[in-house]
A and B are shown apart, each in its own frame.
Chain A
Amino acid sequence: MAFSKINLASHITGTLPIANGGTNITSGFVNGSTALTELDSWRKTSAMNATSSGDWLTNNLERCDTANFEKVGTGMSQSSGVFTFPSTGVWLIRFQASYYSNSQNDNEYGKSEIHTTPDDSTYTQASQGIVNCSATNQSCTASTQFIFNCENTTNYKVKFRVRSDSSWYVSGSTSLNDTHIEFMKLGDTV
């Protein structure tokens, strides 16, 4: 038996998200904010040398200005590598560092670290990505990400550190994202 039409409202109580003959949904959206409100991308514009004790990214950080990139919203701000959020919320933070090995040892590594603080003072390592290069003059990347619940914009901050046990170079660029950081606001503070 074939139906030529189905009456959507038949035997259903409540409000239908689409009317008979309609094409647009009128209800049933996810509650709360759903639009992308904050998205930003920063990068290291110069090289540095990562040591075994770890070295903060402090200098030569710029917002991505490669063609066709546009931040969404207010964007992050930073001073000497300490990043401040423009609004409270749950944020996805992604950090990728590009390493260049200058020595050969199977046990050597490069490490990218995200450190956060809730009090603008004491930083805790929140995540890390580790990469091993087993040959000299080899390029490799280590990335890591962390979901950060920023409860206030005054004291909740984040900064980034690189580490290697044999002074690998960390590369940077002013024209493309090499060693870089991305921020995306996922939603409201929980």
Chain B
Amino acid sequence: MDWNNRGRPNMIEDWIVTLRGGDFIRWKDSKNKIYSNLEITDGGSKPTEKECNDGLKAMQDQWDKDNT
């Protein structure tokens, strides 16, 4: 998501950072933010791909509701 322009959430990172505080995610390839490139660095558990997709979908639905 383009946070500064309040854009529509468009990647799983947008949802993951809402889970808790800190800089706890690492991308193996920051230019390709797909689930298989995701690492969790604070010792917490890695959410499942479904949880990520569902979380992103919920954010998108909320954004659509607020912006249409």
Contacts and interface: CB of A to CB of B under 8 A. Distances in A.
B17 A60 contact: no
A49 interface: yes
B21 A60 contact: no
A137 B5 CA distance: 10
Interface residues of B, number: 22
A58 B41 contact: yes
A50 B21 contact: yes
A62 B6 CA distance: 24
B46 to A, nearest CB: 14
Contact of A46 (B18, B19, B20, B27): B27
Contact of B26 (A55, A60, A139): A60
B23 A55 contact: yes
B41 A46 contact: no
Given A58-B41, A171-B3, A49 B17 contact: yes
A113 interface: no
A137 B22 contact: no
A98 to B, nearest CB: 6
B3 A59 contact: no
Interface of A: 45-51, 53, 55-60, 62, 81, 98, 100, 137, 139, 167, 169, 171, 174, 178
Interface of B: 1, 3-6, 13-14, 17-27, 30-31, 33, 41
Q: Which 7 A-B pairs have the closest CB atoms?
A: A51-B21, A171-B3, A45-B30, A59-B26, A48-B23, A100-B3, A139-B4
